């Protein structure tokens, strides 16, 4: 472990000198998270989490800091670690440590340090766990089983984590109830379409500064993320071309005004390519061979195998980093192809991930799940539980009113009309 780290009785972070800068980032995020502000006001007054000890393992970002401080203001004791060594923002970690939060996180830590940090957050014997990737739940179940009787429940943020926890529950191996935060509509739908849509375009622009208007913008995969990217690129004046393997998704892309082509055709006419499929080998050798000079390629799908970088490396005669997060590959015939963020998620590596306004809703789901586990956790079965529909509606409602919008309400007569089956249709 690096000797340069700052260590205290309840923290280990990179550099406390970054705290003032981190605090400004947190203040900025907080001002963009009105749902969290409303929940903080209500639950700080009620002290809904009083007596709870929450161990968290989730990306240490400015938005997560808002979640941590909201949980703390609602009466909980907190101990936190980052869930990915590359996502920890050292200035945010320093600001949290300076404000007294127990936090063990620094950018670029190795695997041994990662588990050391998780173990430190378990030292205070938590009553609740809050996860992104389920490392905390796995650590409790595999290495700290003595803590299980004291744990009321946990939450999990990601699809992958939830998938594994459901498998654990099916085998009878899960020992406390878990709420699947990802499955809330106010989480995955808004994250994927609006969060990934904007931040992916943001990553492309930060890495390249190119004009999108008039460009052929090829989106591989028209799922929620692909749709978000397509919508925003079209809004900036690009001609969007979607590639798909699923007819219904391809049809949606067509009816939303985009062209649909197989990648073999799109490869030759695209100016900018973004992969958002979750599948490997979307852009391979034969595509690189026909691409235009100056083509830009990047990935916003779940994995970094969508673009076959080995094929690109094999075709190239030279490579240089021409700008941060932008590698220029020169082909034998003199054409240049630009790969962004080394094929990793462009919205995270070259931009800042989901905007705070989007994280506002994801983290409202985390917060309300902690409140639900506190009040009802003892009655929940040892299984993976969904977010209640009313919670989704309540979060969306607070978000709407914070934006000055208001809705209609069904009258009694309308509710009766909808349920009435006496007179046929």
Q: Which residues of the shown chain bind ligand 9W4 in the complex (CB under 6 A)?
A: 59, 61, 63-64, 84, 86-87, 341-342, 344, 348-349, 353-354, 359
Nearer to ligand 9W4, 96 or 341 (CB): 341
Query: What does the DSSP assignment read for 14-68?
Result: S-GGGHHHHHHHHHHHHHT-HHHHHHHHHHHHHTTTTT-EEEEES--SHHHHHHH
Nearer to ligand 9W4, 239 or 300 (CB): 300
Smallest separation (angstroms) from ligand 9W4 to the CB of 216: 27
Q: What residue number has its CB nearest to ligand 9W4?
A: 353
Closest CA to 137 of 155, 163, 160: 155
Smallest separation (angstroms) from ligand 9W4 to the CB of 78: 16
Question: CB–CB of 86/59 below 8 Å?
Answer: no
| Cα separation, 46 vs 49, whole angstroms | 9
Q: What angle do CA 18, 131, 93 make, to 5 degrees?
A: 5
Helix (H) or strand (E) holding 112: helix 111-122
Nearer to ligand 9W4, 200 or 391 (CB): 200
Smallest separation (angstroms) from ligand 9W4 to the CB of 397: 23
Question: CB–CB of 266/282 below 8 Å?
Answer: no
| Cα separation, 301 vs 192, whole angstroms | 10
Exposed / middle / buried, residue 149 (Cβ in 10 Å: 0-12, 13-18, 19+):
exposed
Smallest separation (angstroms) from ligand 9W4 to the CB of 375: 26
| Cα separation, 315 vs 97, whole angstroms | 48
Nearer to ligand 9W4, 198 or 239 (CB): 198
Smallest separation (angstroms) from ligand 9W4 to the CB of 83: 8
Tell me if residue 327 falls in helix, strand or coil: strand
Nearer to ligand 9W4, 59 or 215 (CB): 59
Question: CB–CB of 63/23 below 8 Å?
Answer: no
Nearer to ligand 9W4, 121 or 199 (CB): 199
Nearer to ligand 9W4, 185 or 289 (CB): 185
Smallest separation (angstroms) from ligand 9W4 to the CB of 166: 21
| Cα separation, 198 vs 189, whole angstroms | 14
Q: Quick one: DSSP state of residue 126?
A: -
* Token pair in block for residue 398: 């607070």
Smallest separation (angstroms) from ligand 9W4 to the CB of 36: 12
Smallest separation (angstroms) from ligand 9W4 to the CB of 359: 5
Smallest separation (angstroms) from ligand 9W4 to the CB of 93: 13
Smallest separation (angstroms) from ligand 9W4 to the CB of 101: 16
Question: CB–CB of 138/122 below 8 Å?
Answer: no
Cβ neighbours of residue 408 closer than 8 Å, sequence gap 6 or more: none
- Matching residue, tokens 């021409």: 322
Closest CA to 126 of 107, 97, 98, 154: 154
| Cα separation, 271 vs 393, whole angstroms | 40
Nearer to ligand 9W4, 37 or 269 (CB): 37
Closest CA to 48 of 377, 358, 361: 377
Nearer to ligand 9W4, 207 or 238 (CB): 207
């Amino acid at each position: 472990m690096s000797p340069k780290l700052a260590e205290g009785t309840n923290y280990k972070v990179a550099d406390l000198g970054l705290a003032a800068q981190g605090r400004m980032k947190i203040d900025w995020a907080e001002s963009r998270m009105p749902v969290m502000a409303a929940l903080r006001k209500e639950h700080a007054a009620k002290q809904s989490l009083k007596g709870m000890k929450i161990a968290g393992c989730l990306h240490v970002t400015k938005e997560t800091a808002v979640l941590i401080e909201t949980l703390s203001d609602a009466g909980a004791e907190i101990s936190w670690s980052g869930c990915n060594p590359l996502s920890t923002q050292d200035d945010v970690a320093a600001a949290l440590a300076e404000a007294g939060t127990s936090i063990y996180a620094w950018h670029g830590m190795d695997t041994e340090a990662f588990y050391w940090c998780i173990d430190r957050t378990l030292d205070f014997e938590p009553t609740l766990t809050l996860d992104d990737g389920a490392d905390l739940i796995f650590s409790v179940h595999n290495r700290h089983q003595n803590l299980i009787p004291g744990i009321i429940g946990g939450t999990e943020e990601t699809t992958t984590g939830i998938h594994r926890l459901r498998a654990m529950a099916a085998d009878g191996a899960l020992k406390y109830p878990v709420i699947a935060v990802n499955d809330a509509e106010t989480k995955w739908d808004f994250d994927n379409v609006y969060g990934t849509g904007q931040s992916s375009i943001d990553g492309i622009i930060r890495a390249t500064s190119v004009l999108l208007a008039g460009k052929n913008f090829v989106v591989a995969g028209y799922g929620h993320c692909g749709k978000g990217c397509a919508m925003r690129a079209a809004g900036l004046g690009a001609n969007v071309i979607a590639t798909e393997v699923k007819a219904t998704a391809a049809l949606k892309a067509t009816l939303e005004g985009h062209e649909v082509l197989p990648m073999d055709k799109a490869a030759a006419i695209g100016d900018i390519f973004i992969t958002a499929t979750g599948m490997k080998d979307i852009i391979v050798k034969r595509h690189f061979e026909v691409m235009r000079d100056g083509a830009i390629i990047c990935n916003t799908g779940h994995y970094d195998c969508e673009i076959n970088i080995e094929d690109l490396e094999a075709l190239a005669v030279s490579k240089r980093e021409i700008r941060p997060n932008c590698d220029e590959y020169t082909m034998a015939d003199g054409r240049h192809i630009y790969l962004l963020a080394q094929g990793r998620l462009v919205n995270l590596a070259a931009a800042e991930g989901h905007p705070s306004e989007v994280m506002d809703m994801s983290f409202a789901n985390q917060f309300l799940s902690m409140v639900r586990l506190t009040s009802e956790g003892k009655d929940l079965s040892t299984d993976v539980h969904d977010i209640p529909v009313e919670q989704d509606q309540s979060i969306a409602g607070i978000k709407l009113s914070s934006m000055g919008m208001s809705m209609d309400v069904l009258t009694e007569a309308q509710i009766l009309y909808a349920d009435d089956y006496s007179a046929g249709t």
